Amino acid sequence: MNVAVVGATGVVGEAMLSILEKRQFPINNIYPLASSRSAGNSVLFKGRSVEVGRLDEFDFSTTDLGLFSAGGSISAEYAPKAVAAGCLVVDNTSYFRNDPEIPLIVPEVNLHALDKHQGIIANPNCSTIQMVVALKPIYDAVGIHRINVATYQAVSGAGRRAIEELAGQTAALLNGKKPTIDVMSKQIAFNVIPEIDSFQDNGYTREEMKMVWETRKILEDETLMINPTTVRVPVFYGHSEAVHLETRDAVTAAEVRQLLSVAPGVTVIDDHTPGGYPTAVTEAAKQDGVFVGRIREDISCDRGINLWIVSDNIRKGAALNSIQISEALLDRM
């Protein structure tokens, strides 16, 4: 199979190349692509240096699969062109996620929806992915009426410049200097920022509304009540989520623990001892799974369950999920 990676020099694009190699995805030719600004640089793939090509000059008829992660406007322009040339597209941007004709896929959750694709498959938001992987077994067993979720999202979700900004601000502050603020709306080092993406008319941010729209679409349930607060935290890799559920039928914490212990893609770390839970840095970063702990019954309401969910936002939250979708497409060929 010939594979193009659009946005190959970005954080997610680099992870895609690494994961394709690690999972031994069957590739005849790899085409890393980027804007004219980044074209001409090289990326490593299977131990060799591969030159990055210009997206605006690439002939998609030469490739079978395009993995897109270069921004919504790029996907809007080039994904339809790729499909018209006979290339399948897995898009990691938000551009196609709300289109009712385009499947939004998390392989552990709704792989059946892949059957209706017409050339483009959308990859969900990073925070949505890890949450629905953990919630799907509970949803299937007892139903879910309401989800309250607060996210604690790593700066890598905002790209390489955000990673560099956190590192630079931290170094400046530790050396008694004033930090430079460029990418984030406020200082991110030693701080938390309750704003990710633009504010909407209802007072929620677009990142928060993505979790609402996408969770309902993936679980195929427009009645789900979802109340998110998304927060940027001074962590480089790995998103964390405090999730509070109201289920339709009663369920105990022990039953939830058992459901999750056999769920695909989920690792339960839930010892009621100091450190007996997963964190973004110690368990999730550079790993492929979704880790769940702090499982307990909510003392404030009936049929309430609380969870703590962490995962690597660049891997399972973006690159890995896209490649798992691609593997499922390959199985259907």
Query: How many angstroms from the chain centroid is the CA of residue 189?
Result: 23
User: Would strands 42-45 and 48-51 be described as parallel, antiparallel, or unpaired?
Assistant: antiparallel
Other C-beta atoms within 10 Å of 23: how many? 13
Classify residue 220 as exposed, middle or buried by CB count within 10 Å of its CB (0-12, 13-18, 19+). exposed
CA atoms in the 13 A half-sphere facing the CB of 325: 34
CA atoms in the 13 A half-sphere facing the CB of 242: 6
Tell which phi-psi region holds residue 307, choosing left (phi > 0), alpha (psi between -120 and 50) or beta. beta
User: Would strands 290-297 and 239-247 be described as parallel, antiparallel, or unpaired?
Assistant: unpaired
Beta bridge partners of 242: 150, 308
Active-site residue set:
126, 239
The gap between the terminal CA atoms of the chain, to the nearest Å, is 11
Asked if 263 and 295 touch (Cβ cutoff 8 Å), the reply is no
Query: How many angstroms from the chain centroid is the CA of residue 132?
Result: 11
In this structure, what token pair is assigned to residue 18?
Answer: 């690494």
